[in-house]
Amino acid sequence: MKQITRKSLLYKSGLGFWCINHVQGCSHGCRYPCYAWMMADSRRRVDSYEEWCRPALVSNAEELLEKELNRMRTRPDSIHLCLTTDPFMYGFPDVTALTLRLIELINSFGISCSTLTKGIMPVELADTSRFPEANTHGISLVSLDEDFRNRWEPGAAHYSERIGALRELHDYGCRTLVHIEPYPTPNIITQSLQKLLEAVAFADEIWLGGWNYNDLSKNYPGYKNFYEEQSAILNRFLAARQTS
């Protein structure tokens, strides 16, 4: 796997939370399109989509992060992995291994982590002797239809594997999250949000967000009503879960 070095790793994102991205590029190659790919392309960090899909590991990530955490006067309560790449990239064990070492390092400073992936969460994350902080592990999931995945998230993990790995962590007592975003309108795919919710009903948190990366969803007549209805479905589902 290609390697690069960086001058810094830890930063506060525009969304207000602290974050690290210890890989450049992402083999999942999402075609919504991926916001991180658009940024990398506009800043000329990569020459092509094909290059974006050939990830490069930040070889000095551990060394950098340790220095940065040691230097901080006030450390954050939590650090997110990742905003511009995937921490458990499907078919890249070197990425997963480095991610686990970085979470271990962050936890050793008494800081918790949140993770978000379209890959496979490794079961090692449930090892509380190695990861003692209250970490939250999440998957990004917008469909259960493999044809949709092949079209829009061609390099990402199959949905059943993605959900199965998260479910295993849940069963071991980890806090889990499902991020349903960018949720497609029916002109992209006709599907049932209810079925998707039932497949991940075990998760501690479920979030829903619209398809905002391009105008495809806005081409659907009544797309605002559609998203209001989907939000209502999610709210009813969460309310019913609380009372059951």
Residues that bind ligand SF4 (CB under 6 A): 26, 28-30, 34, 36-37, 85-86, 118, 156
Q: Which is nearer to ligand SF4, 21 or 135 (CB)?
A: 21
What's the closest the beta carbon of residue 86 comes to ligand SF4, in angstroms?
Answer: 4
Q: Which is nearer to ligand SF4, 37 or 227 (CB)?
A: 37
What's the closest the beta carbon of residue 243 comes to ligand SF4, in angstroms?
Answer: 34
What's the closest the beta carbon of residue 73 comes to ligand SF4, in angstroms?
Answer: 31
What's the closest the beta carbon of residue 53 comes to ligand SF4, in angstroms?
Answer: 8
As a three-state string, the secondary structure of the chain is CEEECCCCCCEECCCCCEEECCEECCCCCCCCCCHHHHHHHHCCCCCCHHHHCCCEEECCHHHHHHHHHHHCCCCCCEEEECCCCCCCCCCCHHHHHHHHHHHHHHHHCCCEEEEEECCCCCHHHHCCCCCCCCCEEEEECCCCCHHHHHHHCCCCCCHHHHHHHHHHHHHCCCEEEEEEEEECCCCCCCCCHHHHHHHCCCCCEEEEEECCCCCCHHHCCCHHHHHHHHHHHHHHHHHHHHHC
Q: Which is nearer to ligand SF4, 34 or 65 (CB)?
A: 34
Q: Which is nearer to ligand SF4, 69 or 165 (CB)?
A: 165
